[in-house]
Amino acid sequence: MRLAGQPDGNGAMFWSSFRAGVRQAAGLPSLVLMASLIGVGGLTRDIGYPIWAGVLSTLLLWAGPAQVLLFGSLAAGASLPAIAIAVSLSSIRFFPMVVSILPLLRGPGVGTGRLLFGAHFVAVTAWTEGRRLLPGLPVEQRYPFFIGFSIMVMAAATFATGAGYYLIAALPAAFAAALLFTTPMFFTLSLVAGSRTLADWAALGLGFALAPLATALVGQDFDLLVVGLVGGTLAYGIHRMRGGR
Amino acid sequence: MAAELEQAIGGLWPYLVVIVIGFLPTEVWRVAGVLAGRNLDENSQVMVWVRMVATALVAGVVAKLLMSPSGALAVVPLWGRLGALAAGVAVYFVARRSVLAGLFVGEMVLIGAGLWGSQL
């Protein structure tokens, strides 16, 4: 895909905005994503998959929770169709996220092909940072800035995935455990950070509390589906009861 | 059937799993988001429900990873895993909602519990 498909003057503008995005991503956003994906590399090794399967999962899925679901469920021995459904359920959130960031990415020369390319990078970090930073930029700089930002954080996270794969075997037991612990710790903190209403907290708490119960009741294959649908729907009920619209 | 296919394609199996079981079920929602475009309100009731289901699902994954861990994480006793998680969340709030501070302290507690637990 050609990124700089504009005439020369616009091409220079494209790359300067792209570089501004890279610079914006190079600090904390990249560190946070490295911390969240390093454990996925460890998980990949844990289930006996090759390093490039873990690296590929970061490049293609670009969804920490879905990657953890995928490798974690494989480790637990769940059936493949059940894993695919759970992964897909966990990724439905990308639908509203893409819908809501689309108006910020549209601009001169940004057609459906480029929007699809840009949408691939939509995940928690790029979405929150994009919604925070893009409105302050001129319309024609937004798309290249977003792509630069996204490619930078993805490169850092991909490197961390590969590093985690090797680190887990090289580290003493307690530190290897810490590497695998990065993922649940990071996702818990992300959920806590994103919880604003009582219903958000209920979804978080119910998901956590129902998991052991669901495993005991329906087994390893479909327990996460039950947790997501039952816990999420109960939390939605709380949202409605409190007059949420 | 999956086992037979795994036999047949050997070393390529993990990549096929990543693409078919991981990539496609995820990417379909991003593509749908672009195609549905602006006709959807992210604050609609359906979207709120979707967000709740996704949150519960991710929380469920975290619980499973901690309660029945595989491999290296299993060397840390259950109290150490849950204690480290609680410590990380507590520090997150104390440190004025800093994800990195929470992550760091949670890791430290877990390593401590792992070292202590392995000496018993």
Residues A38-64: pLDDT tens digits?
A: 889 988 998 899 999 999 999 999 998
Residue A102 lies in a domain: yes
Residue A223 lies in a domain: no
Domain that holds residue A29: 8-172
Please give the C-alpha separations between residue A95 and each of A61, A71, A131, A241, B35, in angstroms, as whole numbers: 14, 23, 15, 25, 10
Residue A184 lies in a domain: no
The predicted-structure confidence for A184-218, as pLDDT tens digits, reads as follows: 888 888 889 878 889 999 999 999 999 999 989 98
Whether this model's pTM surpasses 0.90: no
Chain A closest-CA separation from residue B49 CA (Å):
6
Per the CB < 8 A criterion, the answer to whether A96 and B30 are in contact is no
Residue A144 lies in a domain: yes
Q: What pLDDT sits at residue A9? A: 60
Asked whether residue A143 carries a pLDDT value surpassing 90, the answer given is yes
Q: Chain A partners of B9 at a C-beta cutoff of 8 Å? A: none
Q: Contact B89/A68, CB-based, under 8 Å?
A: no
Give the type of residue at A242.
Answer: R
Beta strands in A21-134 (DSSP E): none
Overall domain count for chain A: 1
CA–CA distance, B90 with B108 (Å, rounded to integer): 14
**Closest chain A residue to B81, measured at CA:** A181
Asked whether residue A239 carries a pLDDT value surpassing 60, the answer given is yes
